[in-house]
Structure 1
Amino acid sequence: MPVKRLRKARGGRSLIGLSLAALSGMFVAAGIVAGGCGARTPLDVGPPQPPCFVDSDCPGHKNLCEPVYCDLAAGAEAGAPRNGGLCVDLPPIVCDDNDPCTDDACVPKTGQCTYEVATRDNDGDGFRGPRPGTLPGDPNACGDDCDDKSELAYPGGTEVCDGVDNDCNGVVDDGATYIPLLNEPIRLSGDIAPAGPGGLAWSGTSYAAAYTGTVSGFSMRLNMLAPTGVPLGPEAPIVFQNGDNAGGPIVWVGDRYGIAWQDRRSGDYEVYFTLLDESGAKVLPDTRLSFAEGFSINVSLGWTGGEFIVAWQDEREGLFDLYAQRLSIDGAPIGGNVKLTQAFNVGNEAPQMAPGLSSIGVAWAPGDALQHFIQFQVFNQDLTPRSPAVSLTQGTSDSVYPTIAWNQDRYVVAWFDKTANPKAIYGAVVDEDGNILVEPKALTNPGSFRSRYPSIKALGDRVLLVYADDRDQNDGYELYALMLDGNLNPSGTEQRVTFGKKDSIYPIATFGPDGNVGILFRDDREGQQHVFFTRLGCIVP
């Protein structure tokens, strides 16, 4: 439209400076005349649309999955300027190949449809794992691998003693028992005492052992171990930043490790996560997960089959509460921190969690300096609550150190009690909806002595319990192993695992090669607190 100059009125004023009153009178007079003639109400055509000349003038034109175009003819009909049109929405692109086992999506940049297989073969055995929340082999599971972390487990496999469910019948190493293999455990930690275990995982070729030592403060170390437990090289730091760092729960997911820890590089303890390759090399920068004031500590880590889940206790609101964070297989946070609990009077502490079929079970120990009790709750894998919290103890004693495992179709929770009679390891079984299937009961019989620090490994139809006990009065605690049936009753002979003087405590057990069970633990036999490794051997009937 050409630009017109303003004409000057006499006296040097522009026409725009005419009396507002005069102009108002003109409008009023026009209204009276129109009203007197019975004029029709003006049409409400809405605000004029901005004219367009090409498609790229239209809002949202870059999203080709919701296409728009500039209709020049429509612009003229709708009263737009002669040299402009109107933006018109076209039907959106709908991508659907009628295959329930693909994730269908439209790429906004190109407007093209993609159809990606919805499940993964993380372990490379040719069998895909099921969709989250489905059982392997179900019609809508789109995968039938019962353990996509191990290439040794797949439908039709031959069951051998190797710590995995080779034939996918729901039972690991059918009928096997476990006996100690090493007369003397292997010390892993160097001159970094006091040291303590953090996490242990088996990749199929080697163990990754994470632990914390003392080097001008707390510092995590990683040691890669041969199948026999012999270190493949010197221990190495995991974190290369100043500030205390500790923890180290670690999981193997078929082609990489995930590891999480608490870290004080920014002042308060915060939660961090990273990925390691099979050799233990870091492949992702440290990813900070918590940012609130106060300490974020006592980290737990799990793998759902498609995502990592990190849980911890956090004092951002005063009393400790539990928080969690989802991460993709590539270590990218999904959404923000999710608050899992609400503290009342006492803090919620010591979270341990395990992913189930379509859920996540979380056990923790609310309490104060004198008493704790064990609570358990089931969450969906998006971290929304699935069941109410249930109390597994009455709060009249000091129940602490919960641990948890998913066992085929239910959760097994174990803990120890410092003041009950007996001072034993206790356990219970809970289903995915929070219903107690096996009521809490003592799992060990220490007599007048004490059982502490349980670690449990699920075998489908039974559970392996590894724990510390001072009944032999060997100048401290020793490690023991006990098989339990599905109802948590002892099954088989209890095995003593360590025999050195002083304490052997804090065991962390994981399945290794040939059905062996690797155990990482703290041992004081050398007069200092160091981290050691030992093994249990698998014996088939």
Structure 2
Amino acid sequence: MRQAMRARLAGLWRGVLFGVLVSACGPDPGLPGPEQVARGEEAATVEAARARQEPLPEPRPTAVLGPKVAYGGGKYLVVWTDVRDGRIYGARMKPDGTLLDPEGLRLNTHPEHLFASNPNVAYDGEDFVVVWDSGEGVDGVRLEPDGAAPGPVFKVITSGEVAGDVGLACSRKVCLVAFAADSDEGSDIGALRIGPDGRRLDESVIFLSSATVTGEPAVAWNGKEFLVVWTDSHGGVDTPDIYGNRVKEDGTVLGQSFPIGAAPGMQRTPAVTWTGRRFLVVWGDMRGSDWDIFGARVRSDGKVDDPAGIPISTAPGDQRFPGVAHHNWKSLVVWDDTRAGPHRIWGARVEEDGDVRDPDGFAISGGAYANEFRPAVAYGSNQFLVPYAASSVAEEPFTPNFILGRRVKHDTQVLDAPALVFTRSTSAPPPAPTVQ
């Protein structure tokens, strides 16, 4: 099983999920290695550079695939998988676009863990919580919005049967971490709660689905319970659907898993947010000849208001890998779009009643790179931040890559031209790891 898991992790580094190759790009042998400096010294160096008005470190393509993002404590935290030591990095940003960690924060301080990947981030009202696939289970760390260094790495679960995307959402008391756990029959969706100190609160895994091939979990909190959504093969291994289940803050599972997006073809890579009245779940949908973006509203009692799905973007080409965030009466849905050929980031606003405010979508990324892909989105300080991956390489694979970002106002005005750059370094990283 462990050998099979290593093979699966190798596939993740190549961007293979459920046997489908996704966007990534090959290592650049000309990139120099990471700066080895204690975080306290690095913070002092950055502040001194600011005082001298020195330029920011050079942009470097150090990331693997796309980012995740959360807002809290007056700041955004963008996290990603990196080719530098530790593999899990992040950078805080003020709402005005000021980057607080120009060379990135190494969040995984474990001396090894070559396979660390797929980070996710949430805010619990006091701290950012970051979790990731360690290659041997799921690890995590806490970071104060004003902190110069992350806290110690904690273990969520140690298991060779856990790998892939990690879902995460937090209340003010607990965070719920969701993951796919392999078994001889397939994969289950499991979850564990962690407390404010990173301590695991559940003796055993909370299982949310039956033993079918499942993965790609995402989680949202509505003030009373969590909704966990995932890709599920109830509809067939080659034609998966989107399923979900609800979990109370005390870990109680509220009934059986239920379909949210079930249609002909494939439904994959869900994302979810709470709108104040309902959950909005969005996903990549291939009920037609190309990938599109669909969504559905789910009530707190688990009733799905849109069982046929809401078509959010059905433009030519593929629209995949959506992210979603909400404020007031509308959600901003963002996705990876190839309507014009290269990968670009597009978005659309979805209102509380399910109406799509921008049926044709609007462009978010600037097109400065050959491919701009795999976005995330968070709301904070009267705007949305949309970080995404970008590569100057025209053909797949395109890793390592940059992490860029642009802020989007409520009226779809896109700020930051050129885009904000989160992957910067004064020294070049080693090439992306190879897995035997």
- Matches of 1:339 and 1:326, distance apart in 2: 9
Matched, 1:498 2:369: no
Percent identity of equivalent pairs: 16
Distance 1:407 1:191, change over 3 A: closer
- Matches of 1:447 and 1:483, distance apart in 2: 15
> Who is 2:187 aligned against?
320
8 Å contact from structure 1 (residues 522, 532) kept in 2: yes
Matched, 1:235 2:104: yes
The residue type paired with residue 481 of structure 1 is G
Q: CA deviation at 1:429?
A: 0.9
Matched, 1:380 2:252: no
8 Å contact from structure 2 (residues 179, 217) kept in 1: yes
The residue type paired with residue 498 of structure 1 is S
SS at match of 2:301: coil
Q: CA deviation at 1:431?
A: 1.0
Q: CA deviation at 1:406?
A: 1.1
Q: CA deviation at 1:287?
A: 1.2
SS at match of 1:239: coil
Q: CA deviation at 1:361?
A: 0.6
- Matches of 2:348 and 2:173, distance apart in 1: 32
Distance 1:436 1:220, change over 3 A: same
- TM-score normalized with structure 1 length: 0.59
> Who is 1:518 aligned against?
385
> Who is 1:531 aligned against?
403
Matched, 1:287 2:154: yes
> Who is 2:71 aligned against?
202
The residue type paired with residue 425 of structure 1 is I
> Who is 2:125 aligned against?
254
The residue type paired with residue 116 of structure 2 is N
SS at match of 2:216: coil
> Who is 1:408 aligned against?
276
Q: Give the one of 198, 202, 215 matched to 1:349.
A: 215
Distance 1:281 1:321, change over 3 A: farther
Q: CA deviation at 1:300?
A: 1.2
> Who is 2:18 aligned against?
none
- Matches of 2:94 and 2:58, distance apart in 1: 12
- Identify unmatched segments of 5+ residues in structure 2: 1-55, 413-436
8 Å contact from structure 1 (residues 202, 252) kept in 2: yes
State the structure with bigger RCO (CA 8 A, min sep 6), 1 or 2.
Answer: 2
- Matches of 2:225 and 2:92, distance apart in 1: 31
SS at match of 1:396: coil
- Matches of 1:187 and 1:491, distance apart in 2: 39
Q: CA deviation at 1:316?
A: 5.1
Q: CA deviation at 1:419?
A: 4.8
Matched, 1:192 2:62: yes
- Matches of 1:470 and 1:299, distance apart in 2: 26
Q: Deviations over 1:327-381 (max 9, x none)?
A: 222222212242323434x312111111123111111112376221111222222
Q: Deviations over 1:306-330 (max 9, x none)?
A: 2111111112565221111112222
> Who is 2:355 aligned against?
489
8 Å contact from structure 1 (residues 453, 506) kept in 2: yes
Alignment root-mean-square deviation, CA: 2.8
- Matches of 1:448 and 1:526, distance apart in 2: 23
Q: CA deviation at 1:272?
A: 0.9
Distance 1:460 1:372, change over 3 A: same
- Matches of 2:241 and 2:169, distance apart in 1: 23
Distance 1:445 1:326, change over 3 A: closer
Distance 1:247 1:337, change over 3 A: farther
8 Å contact from structure 1 (residues 189, 235) kept in 2: no
- Matches of 2:208 and 2:173, distance apart in 1: 24
> Who is 2:33 aligned against?
none
- Matches of 1:284 and 1:499, distance apart in 2: 36
Q: Rg larger in 1 or in 2? A: 1
8 Å contact from structure 2 (residues 245, 255) kept in 1: yes
8 Å contact from structure 1 (residues 443, 488) kept in 2: no
- Matches of 2:209 and 2:125, distance apart in 1: 35
8 Å contact from structure 1 (residues 405, 458) kept in 2: yes
Distance 1:312 1:281, change over 3 A: farther
8 Å contact from structure 1 (residues 352, 363) kept in 2: yes
Q: CA deviation at 1:382?
A: 2.2
- Identify unmatched segments of 5+ residues in structure 1: 1-185
The residue type paired with residue 382 of structure 1 is D
SS at match of 2:255: coil
Q: CA deviation at 1:262?
A: 1.1
The number of equivalent residue pairs is 346
Q: Give the one of 321, 332, 341 matched to 2:199.
A: 332
> Who is 2:258 aligned against?
390
8 Å contact from structure 2 (residues 138, 156) kept in 1: yes
Q: Deviations over 1:164-202 (max 9, x none)?
A: xxxxxxxxxxxxxxxxxxxxxx99963425x23342123
8 Å contact from structure 1 (residues 262, 298) kept in 2: yes
> Who is 2:434 aligned against?
none
8 Å contact from structure 2 (residues 371, 390) kept in 1: yes
Q: Give the one of 360, 382, 398 matched to 2:226.
A: 360
